[in-house]
Chain A
């Protein structure tokens, strides 16, 4: 029982200081979100609206992708398609090679994390530099994001101060956040100034107008997509929405759910490269549309809901498991509840099937999700997929691989006895008689708990004694 996941969880649970830090951060985020939605009826109406917008877009996905491609192409944006992350990386590389670019400056993009783009480019001798402050910090320390919105949330101010001092010895040690931020600004401004290629993600892509929308607070997204002569946007094929009028409700619910801000500082809408009468902006814009398992998820009516996600991170902020084990224990690009349902679907139950067991099904994620993804139901569904027999009826990779013959036989026996009352009652009575024989060690369960005890009377007997007629 010592899988990599369990070992990482054990380690994380032992780090009391980091845990306290996560607890405080998540409490703040939850409070901030709550303060943004004082009127529950209005919140629920907005969630229904956001759900309908995303569900509608998915129901027309192939048509909208075609429309998006046509609109963008007409405006001079070059659209590329990638089935796998390898293909997506190759596309980015070939654009870089065409321009003989030796470095790329990046705005925040979870899809580029999914692609492992930085490692890939570095192996090709190309420097990939993160410019989002949080991403910049963890890149300095050779880490990956521990949260999809706040990548460096696991680091304390003191750790960041020390890190800056270690990596840039000419910057005096300081714990002053304004000074640390100013140093990062100075370092990265030079990089923006010289970079020949900028990369970004996409929050929403509007099919109607051919518009790529980016949400951010720092301005690095605007810099990455405006200063370098070439802009490459990478995104998943599910990010498209039908109409421009679909954007305001999504923009209204995304930052409020994510960080508890009424709106982000910048909402950047890009619909094409620099035109002849313009004086700045990239002269070349590329969009890379990545599948990487999404079209597989798309084929199942229940799992499809996963693709509604707008990556706000609210489910993560409210997850009692995430707050205790932190983002890195998951060992995946996307942590928390969204990662728990997305990663096993993308990479298979053999690799990440254990994540779906690490849930108490408390339901908090589903309640806060702005697009009403029934995350607990999907966790349950994936648990079922992992042990089901009729694996041809689910697109989930490695379905049925957790099925154990003994366990399956026990449940079959259970289901059979439960549909035969006299047998069931007999079994119950026998069990109460033999209650003394229950061992006090029953597997991993009793490592930290006492063994469960059977009652001396079955529920049926107790109810009968109370005069309840159960038949």
Chain B
């Protein structure tokens, strides 16, 4: 153990600690929003930050997605062939842009990922209505950069996983109890900045467009 560590701890433990009243800490904000209201709020928030939200369902989402890809003139779509969504898309590959799979470590195809992918498609762990937010837990199938490097990010969100607040999601999905993945990320719109004279600009470092398909 380093000396710095020892000395820091010596100082921190040498003093009398304050007693803290924890009652205020436990109040969890809740909203009695039904599913329809959650969808309405989610959509409103997302659209306010220039994200696209398309409402669909389990029967029609493939059609909707094909339509979106066509409208955007995509040449390539990066996805995992192993998720429920990826499987269905792969089986209907002729209706979609050229499908690419993130099936190797980044080092093996970094150039292609950075320069030759138009859009990345991911599933989501759920959404948050209050703030218009997607929750992603990237993994081996859907790695971290899938939702970050391509200029367009298309995400599929199941409406029965749409929570009112982040606090509720963390609690009901038992994030702490499960243990956190190496990376979890909340996404609430396309990449943006107001660093130049407070003028909003999109697509600074992450995707310029965020497209959410609700099923």
CB distance from B66 to the nearest CB of A (A): 27
CB distance from A431 to the nearest CB of B (A): 45
| Separation of A428 and B196 alpha carbons in the complex (Å) | 58
Q: Contacting chain A: which of B57-65, B84-92, B174-182?
A: B174-182
Are A28 and B198 in touch, CB under 8 angstroms?
Answer: yes
Are A217 and B176 in touch, CB under 8 angstroms?
Answer: no
Q: Which residues of B contact A83 (CB under 8 A)?
A: 4, 7-8
Q: Which residues of B contact A244 (CB under 8 A)?
A: 170, 175-176, 180
Chain A residue with minimal CB distance to B107? A229
In chain A, residues 108-138, which have Cβ atoms closer than 8 Å to a Cβ of chain B? 131-134, 137
| Separation of A80 and B4 alpha carbons in the complex (Å) | 9
Name the contact of A279 in the complex, choosing from B104, B170, B185 (C-beta under 8 A).
Answer: B104
| Separation of A275 and B188 alpha carbons in the complex (Å) | 26
A321 interfacial by beta-carbon distance below 8 Å:
no
B72 interfacial by beta-carbon distance below 8 Å:
no
Are B140 and A218 in touch, CB under 8 angstroms?
Answer: no
Q: Which residues of A contact B190 (CB under 8 A)?
A: 265
Are B198 and A262 in touch, CB under 8 angstroms?
Answer: no
Total A-B Cβ pairs within 8 A: 245
Name the contact of B199 in the complex, choosing from A58, A157, A210, A275 (C-beta under 8 A).
Answer: A157
| Separation of A83 and B10 alpha carbons in the complex (Å) | 12
Number of A residues with CB within 8 Å of any CB on chain B:
98
Number of B residues with CB within 8 Å of any CB on chain A:
77
In chain B, residues 1-54, which have Cβ atoms closer than 8 Å to a Cβ of chain A? 2, 4-5, 7-9, 11-25, 27, 29, 45, 49
Q: Which residues of A contact B11 (CB under 8 A)?
A: 291, 295-296, 298-299
Provide the B193-207 mask, 1 if CB < 8 A to any CB of A, else 0: 111111101111111
| Separation of A217 and B170 alpha carbons in the complex (Å) | 22
Are B182 and A281 in touch, CB under 8 angstroms?
Answer: yes
Name the contact of B196 in the complex, choosing from A75, A133, A248, A270 (C-beta under 8 A).
Answer: A133
| Separation of A273 and B11 alpha carbons in the complex (Å) | 31
Name the contact of B105 in the complex, choosing from A51, A65, A160, A280 (C-beta under 8 A).
Answer: A280
B106 interfacial by beta-carbon distance below 8 Å:
yes
A12 interfacial by beta-carbon distance below 8 Å:
no
Are B18 and A208 in touch, CB under 8 angstroms?
Answer: no
A55-B18, A279-B143 known; A249 vs B167 contact (CB < 8 Å):
yes
| Separation of A262 and B145 alpha carbons in the complex (Å) | 25
A48 interfacial by beta-carbon distance below 8 Å:
yes
Are B5 and A81 in touch, CB under 8 angstroms?
Answer: yes
Are B176 and A298 in touch, CB under 8 angstroms?
Answer: no
CB distance from A28 to the nearest CB of B (A): 6
Provide the B66-91 mask, 1 if CB < 8 A to any CB of A, else 0: 00000000000000000000000000
A185-B205, A265-B190 known; A248 vs B165 contact (CB < 8 Å):
yes
B192 interfacial by beta-carbon distance below 8 Å:
yes
Provide the A416-427 mask, 1 if CB < 8 A to any CB of B, else 0: 000000000000
Are B133 and A263 in touch, CB under 8 angstroms?
Answer: yes
| Separation of A137 and B24 alpha carbons in the complex (Å) | 41
Chain A residue with minimal CB distance to B13? A62
Provide the A195-219 mask, 1 if CB < 8 A to any CB of B, else 0: 0000000000000111100000111
In chain A, residues 296-316, which have Cβ atoms closer than 8 Å to a Cβ of chain B? 296, 298-299, 301, 304
Q: Which residues of A contact B15 (CB under 8 A)?
A: 298-299
Provide the A213-230 mask, 1 if CB < 8 A to any CB of B, else 0: 000011110110011000
A278 interfacial by beta-carbon distance below 8 Å:
yes
A246 interfacial by beta-carbon distance below 8 Å:
yes
Provide the B155-166 mask, 1 if CB < 8 A to any CB of A, else 0: 000000000011
A402 interfacial by beta-carbon distance below 8 Å:
no
Q: Which residues of B contact A133 (CB under 8 A)?
A: 193, 195-196, 204
B184 interfacial by beta-carbon distance below 8 Å:
yes
CB distance from B46 to the nearest CB of A (A): 11
A377 interfacial by beta-carbon distance below 8 Å:
no
Are B29 and A211 in touch, CB under 8 angstroms?
Answer: no
Name the contact of A295 in the complex, choosing from B8, B140, B165, B199 (C-beta under 8 A).
Answer: B8
Name the contact of B182 in the complex, choosing from A42, A75, A134, A157 (C-beta under 8 A).
Answer: A75
Are B204 and A291 in touch, CB under 8 angstroms?
Answer: no
Name the contact of A209 in the complex, choosing from B22, B179, B202 (C-beta under 8 A).
Answer: B179
A220-B204, A227-B145, A265-B49 known; A181 vs B196 contact (CB < 8 Å):
yes
Are B181 and A45 in touch, CB under 8 angstroms?
Answer: no
Name the contact of A226 in the complex, choosing from B171, B183, B184, B193 (C-beta under 8 A).
Answer: B183
Provide the A156-188 mask, 1 if CB < 8 A to any CB of B, else 0: 110010000000000000000110111011001
6 smallest A-B Cβ distances: which pairs?
Answer: A219-B206, A134-B195, A248-B167, A219-B205, A52-B25, A267-B186
* Given A82-B4, A178-B201, A262-B130, 11 new contacts (CB under 8 A): A42-B29, A51-B24, A133-B204, A137-B195, A181-B201, A184-B204, A210-B180, A251-B166, A265-B192, A278-B182, A291-B11
A-B contact pairs, 12 of them (CB 8 A): A55-B20, A83-B4, A185-B205, A222-B205, A227-B145, A244-B176, A263-B186, A277-B140, A278-B139, A281-B144, A289-B8, A298-B15
